[in-house]
Copies of this chain bind each other. A is one copy, B any other.
């Protein structure tokens, strides 16, 4: 870095700079204005605004808009199925130059080795990737994960400059009960602690906030957002591929509290990333909903930087890192060019090519126990009955929350069976890390599936193997296909594998090209719909969340059905 004296001269306009943006129309997140100015840039930093003349390169923007590089305050790379390099390269095309990634999916499979991989892979990218250390691996004691991370295990990462936060603290009952291990994690010296507490009572929110957890992305109603804002939380307005909350939450944002609000994606499907975008998509949505564009951009930049303690990012200001986006029309918010540290990374959607880290040691992560053909049977002493009353998971479109339904299902050969007539499928979660042979079995309504089977090794948060289907035979073939791929997604119809996507990295991600993965995913989504899955359902994303017991109401893990509101196992039979 240049000397103090040199820095003063640069900012004053007395030194030759690397780059000057002339006639920029700056969206100024500090003054809340849009004003025309020159912008001086040197050695990757903004040196100031006003008038600059002398530089290696002068770019006359002719009134085009300049916006600080967008920030995603909370995202799981793994949910895109892309490796970090492909993921960041896509984000750059969308004007996102900073993201806080919480690698808790890969950590649930591979533990610290997974976190190390993420840190290694982001290290040399032209992108500001920061890591929030997973706080809940496993997410609960109601499932079997590949790894268990204690506070002591996380300490090796505390000195890493990219490690800045504690990842979403889903185990809020553990916080409220002051469980020793949870307290030890909360006391780690990190800049911020990320929240995740859907369903917590407003009264208990006081304790959750007091524990030092000051951000929260799990609001789905204005009322939930308001209860959190009132207690001081930074409310992350989320619009992911699975959970879409932005439009519902915007009415909670006012001029007096917007500083406490920020935009995050949490989970984004690669097709959505390519077609809709990342945080830029949320910006467009919010502008379309009528929010003042300057305020929207504050929520996508400086508010996020403040909430998570990034003091040199999120604004075009002297001494801030020169990450910015150029646009021709603020309301349309179509990204023209994207710069990171003063260097152009993308122009009109062109993707930078980023060298990839080795994935050696991260593959071959599917380890099922001994299998048998009748493993998926739900035997019942039927006493001559032809049907049984069972708890059924009710899936809702565009939501991570399921409902607990009670349905009559047919008994066939002393086993409770899926029912095509009611469009109720069987679902199973097979432990895939330690060969325990654990299998949880349940039923699910609302997917639309009428035939075939779908399986995946992406199943939050322990990423066991989840499979749904209308017949045990098809489900068994789906399981075998996943094993053969070393993890991934597949669809079965009859005896045919009609579609698949191998995910060699921990059974979660692929190191292949983002576009090719998106294309395959589109194809297998179409194939899923050909098996009856409703158009409103994203089949694999939905499947992946059916095993996540921290989000209400009824879920399934390798240990069985979980009443997620009560945080305990429950019985299939009513």
Contact = CB atoms under 8 A, between A and B. Distances in A.
B178 A4 contact: yes
Contact of A12 (B40, B50, B206): B206
A546 B532 CA distance: 85
Contacts of A364: none
Contacts of A3: 178
A260 interface: yes
The 3 closest A-B pairs by CB, nearest first: A32-B256, A48-B206, A255-B255
A32 B298 contact: no
Interface stretch (A97-105, A312-320, A426-434, A566-574): A312-320
A48 B319 contact: no
A257 B32 contact: yes
B232 A317 contact: yes
A358 interface: no
Interface string A327-341: 000000000000000
A154 to B, nearest CB: 18
B318 A210 contact: yes
Given A178-B5, A178-B8, A317-B231, A206 B32 contact: no
Contacts of A318: 206-207, 209-210, 231-232
Given A8-B177, A318-B232, A255 B32 contact: yes
Contacts of A260: 30-31
A398 interface: no
Contacts of A522: none
Given A3-B178, A232-B315, A206 B30 contact: no
A190 interface: no
Interface hub of A203, A205, A315 (most chain B Cβ within 10 A): A203
Contacts of A11: 204, 206-207, 209-210
10 contacts: A5-B178, A7-B207, A8-B177, A8-B211, A12-B206, A32-B256, A33-B254, A50-B203, A210-B318, A255-B295
Interface of A: 3-5, 7-13, 28, 30-33, 35, 37, 40, 47-51, 175-178, 183, 186, 202-207, 209-212, 226, 229-233, 254-257, 259-260, 292, 294-295, 298, 306, 315, 317-320
Contact of A31 (B176, B229, B306): B229
Given A37-B230, A231-B317, 8 more contacts: A5-B178, A8-B178, A12-B203, A32-B255, A35-B230, A48-B205, A206-B318, A232-B320
A47 B317 CA distance: 37
B32 A295 contact: no
A50 B28 CA distance: 37
Contacts of A295: 255-256
Given A8-B175, A12-B176, A30 B232 contact: yes
A233 B3 CA distance: 22
Contact of A226 (B31, B209, B294): B31
Given A33-B256, A209-B317, A12 B230 contact: no
Contacts of A233: 30
A215 to B, nearest CB: 13
Nearest to A232: B317
A69 to B, nearest CB: 16
B257 A8 contact: no
B256 A298 contact: yes
Interface hub of A5, A207, A319 (most chain B Cβ within 10 A): A207
Given A203-B13, A231-B317, A232-B30, A7 B210 contact: yes
A48 to B, nearest CB: 3
Contacts of A177: 5, 8
A318 B9 CA distance: 45
B257 A31 contact: yes
A203 B51 contact: yes
A230 B51 contact: no
Contact of A230 (B7, B8, B28): B28
Nearest to A317: B232
Interface hub of A7, A49, A210 (most chain B Cβ within 10 A): A210
A30 B257 contact: yes
Contacts of A232: 30, 315, 317-318, 320
A35 B231 CA distance: 12
Nearest to A50: B203
Contacts of A207: 7-12, 48, 318
A183 to B, nearest CB: 5
Given A256-B32, A257-B31, A49 B230 contact: yes
A317 B211 CA distance: 12
Contacts of A28: 229-230
Given A50-B203, A231-B49, A232-B318, A210 B32 contact: no
Contacts of A229: 28, 30-32
